[in-house]
Structure 1
Amino acid sequence: MIDTSNVLNKRYMNKQFFNIISLVFFTYSGFVFSQQLSKNNVDGDSSVTVTFSVVGDVMCHSTQFNYALREDSTYDFKPVYRKIKKYFDNSDVVIGNLETVVAGKDIEYSGYPVFNTPEDFLKGLKYAGFDILVTGNNHSYDHQKKGILNTIDFIRENGMKNTGTYKSQEERDSVQLFEQSGLKFALLSYTYGVNLYRIPEKNKFLVNRINPELIKHDIEKAKSKGADLVIIYFHFGKEYARTENRYQRNIVDKTIGFGADIILGAHPHTLQPVEFYKTVDANIDTGFVAFSLGNFISNQRWRYSDGGTVLNFSVTKDFKTNTIKLDAVRYLPIWIFKGVTSWGLEYLILPSDIAADNSYPSYFTEEDKELMLQCYNDTKELMESRTKYIVLDSIDKSAYRKWKIEQEKFISFIAKIPYKPDNPKSFVVKADSLEFFNQKD
């Protein structure tokens, strides 16, 4: 399960906010606040907002692990995420598509076309803040059954969960639910296929394939187990295409009809549009599909693949009415830097909105500046191409927003007053008309 100790374990707080009262109560309230919120949730007299950050393809080409190699023959991938980590710190659940295999060091490390990535790569993802890794994709079976089983084990040993590949038929059929702050959600992953090898019939459980009947069955089972939210993560589409194809559209339409709340996609290594839709027999009135989230980290240096986005969305569960509401849907444009910094040769994931402010790092070359600005403009144009109901985000805005919410939660606990989060510059969906309203600062 996702850690359910709520705001005091992961979320960002500004220590300067606390006064003498907070110093007295801090140790006590760190436990009691969490327990009280949980109790309120059970009693059905409160609500909770859970924020998700999701990214696309998390890859490790050979150049990446060569850059991460240290003198002691270990690998350090943590610096790659040092600039983006702050954004993830303000989220409750962080999800990404692990498009590689961690089969173990007894198999030679390699990049494309048959991946085997050092285990230290997962340590970097844990450091960055990832909670769940989607492991069902076309590279899942690069090292056959051993590769899948070892990848799952290494993910779990590093304190994360996975979905899309499984160790047994029983595990696959169980349809695992995750829980955060009293919100139960399913994250179901399916791929169009795998490369290189054919999976024997007796081992079909290893990887979820896109199959409408299976998807429908899994969604129904997730709901029967009490899922408040059903998120689907597909690995599909044409590589390097910037719009969805007919196959993607067909699968998405069917999945909406099965009752999915939110649908995400990866595989093209480029961003594809976001659309909102009226749900069918789902728990939220308004859902959305992101056909492809692009690359999060890779060595694909060409236009449209040298960056992507972090898609950030929040849902609020009202325990009194047992209803779920989709709140703000935001996106943070990112660009993957590859070059020389004071740390040496490295890859670095950066928010590309710094290009709009002309606030480039000192180590940027003129070419870096041009490429980042190009990536930022491409991302902004595509993400807003089909809807105005998605909000451009930044790391600083996200940190302020979460800090503001945490302040009010702590105050409401101490003073026992009703909690109404003040969410600056965010939006709320009115499902019947898809109208969005600015909340008051």
Structure 2
Amino acid sequence: MIKFFLLVVSFLLSYFLSSIQIKIPKADNFTKDSVTTLRIAVVGDLMCHSPQFNYARVSKDSFDFNPVYRYIKKYLEDADFTFGNLETVIGKKGSNYLGYPRFNSPEEYLAALKQNGFDFLCFANNHTLDQGEKGVLNTITSLNKNYLGYTGAFSSQNDRDSIRIITINDFKIALLAYSYGTNGSLIPKGKDYLINLIDFTLISQDITSARNKGAAIVIVNFHFGNEYQRFPSEYQKEVVKKTIESGADLITASHPHVIQPIQYFKTQNATLDTGVIAYSLGNFISNQRKRYTDAGVILYLNLEKNLNTNKISLKSLEYLPTWVYKGKTDFGNEFLILPLNNLTDSFHFDFLNEQNKIKMQQAFYDTQKILTAFSDKIQLKK
């Protein structure tokens, strides 16, 4: 009887199991999304007025600009890729070095940028032709010597047409740069390649060329706007509108010498769903001392790529306010770029007087207010 019962149970169990279809998920469904990230840091104008190179002078024709960055270096290096706007021309050794209005700076200026975290410089601005064609060519020679990438000004038509595409962490990023003008300096006939001027046809062609060459993200850097105006002009807005229509993902800019707002935008024919325009990142280093002109910012663009789908997104924006100190320290007369993410810590520098601290605090709150004027999604870097 027991054997018969066991046979019946075994038969029913076998029948029941044979009628069930068990679906086993494919191995891919167990695999978590694999992502890679890219952190880009960008600053505004990198200037070199005559007090700057005089403070950096070690001997008659030897300079050291490295001290300028000793408190900000780690923040420039806290990115996979860092770039800014080179708003000076680099002269040959032994040159007659000059500040405003016709810049001509020592080569050591570039060496310090490279040694303190910069990877790339945009060289399309109103001072690019301060020393004519020879100034552009010598600057490019110095950029190459210091292993700094560049765009916006070029040594030949072939150089201009060679779109800069940088591959980092499985991201292919194209960088383009254009200026509103040259302060009246004439471009030699037949040598329009020396500087990219804002031309909507050219910009559209360059973005298309960048895409054809495999760029996933296109960053366009402009030098435009009204000096010392804290909000974008109608011209800036029109340039940005047309650049978005041409397919740019991200837009950064400088020239007003003060910080202007950052705004998100809906992209068109681009990779990112949402892009960003930073209308002006102000002065990162200069001898301009008035309110707003002594303040700068490091903007961090944090990108993420899903390696399974190849979808790229802008995950977040962070900013680090900065302030330029000019004065005496234990090392003599110095220019120093100071981080303002923590005012309490910044105030501990023993070379600061009360007036310095007031200006630093003012710069911090000015920067915070203007950068978030159009969006509250921009985060202060801790």
TM-score normalised per structure 1:
0.78
- Corresponding residue for residue 111 of structure 2: 123
Counterpart selection for 1:47 from 17, 25, 35: 35
* Residue 65, structure 1, aligned to residue 53, structure 2: yes
- Distance (Å, rounded) in 2 between the aligned partners of 1:358 and 1:290: 26
- Distance (Å, rounded) in 2 between the aligned partners of 1:319 and 1:225: 20
Higher helix fraction: Structure 1 or Structure 2? 1
- Distance (Å, rounded) in 2 between the aligned partners of 1:197 and 1:160: 25
- Distance (Å, rounded) in 1 between the aligned partners of 2:155 and 2:43: 25
- Corresponding residue for residue 97 of structure 2: 109
Give the C-alpha shift of residue 357 in structure 1: 5.9
Cα deviation code 1:54-99 (max 9, x no counterpart): 0000000000000001146410000100111111222100001000
Q: Which stretches of structure 1, 4 residues or longer, exceed 6 Å deviation after superposition? A: none
- Corresponding residue for residue 154 of structure 2: 166
Give the C-alpha shift of residue 322 in structure 1: 1.5
Contact 1:142 1:196 in 2 (8 A): no
- Corresponding residue for residue 169 of structure 2: 181
Counterpart selection for 2:331 from 332, 343, 347: 343
**For the structure 1 residues 48 and 142, does the alpha-carbon distance in structure 2 shift closer, same or farther, using more than 3 Å as the test?**
same
* 1:357-368 correspondence to structure 2 within 5 Å: 359-368=347-356
- Distance (Å, rounded) in 2 between the aligned partners of 1:148 and 1:51: 30
Cα deviation code 1:391-438 (max 9, x no counterpart): 0113xxxxxxxxxxxxxxxxxxxxxxxxxxxxxxxxxxxxxxxxxxxx
Give the C-alpha shift of residue 308 in structure 1: 1.2
- Distance (Å, rounded) in 2 between the aligned partners of 1:257 and 1:63: 42
Give the C-alpha shift of residue 356 in structure 1: 5.5
- Corresponding residue for residue 377 of structure 1: 365
- Corresponding residue for residue 238 of structure 1: 226
- Once the two structures are aligned, what percentage of the paired residues are identical? 46
Contact 1:335 1:350 in 2 (8 A): yes
* Residue 157, structure 1, aligned to residue 151, structure 2: no
Contact 1:356 1:373 in 2 (8 A): no
RMSD: 1.3
- Distance (Å, rounded) in 2 between the aligned partners of 1:359 and 1:72: 35
* 1:259-298 correspondence to structure 2 within 5 Å: 259-298=247-286
Give the C-alpha shift of residue 200 in structure 1: 2.4
* Residue 217, structure 1, aligned to residue 205, structure 2: yes
Aligned residues: 350
Give the C-alpha shift of residue 319 in structure 1: 2.5
Contact 1:109 1:118 in 2 (8 A): yes
- Distance (Å, rounded) in 2 between the aligned partners of 1:162 and 1:199: 19
Cα deviation code 1:147-202 (max 9, x no counterpart): 00110110110111111001110111122211112211111000001024211231
User: 3-state DSSP class of the match of 1:202?
Assistant: coil
Structure showing greater radius of gyration is: 2
TM-score normalised per structure 2:
0.89
Counterpart selection for 1:193 from 164, 169, 181: 181
**Any stretches of 5+ residues in structure 1 without a counterpart?**
1-44, 395-441
- Distance (Å, rounded) in 1 between the aligned partners of 2:331 and 2:315: 39
**For the structure 1 residues 354 and 206, does the alpha-carbon distance in structure 2 shift closer, same or farther, using more than 3 Å as the test?**
same
- Distance (Å, rounded) in 2 between the aligned partners of 1:88 and 1:139: 24
Contact 2:341 2:380 in 1 (8 A): no
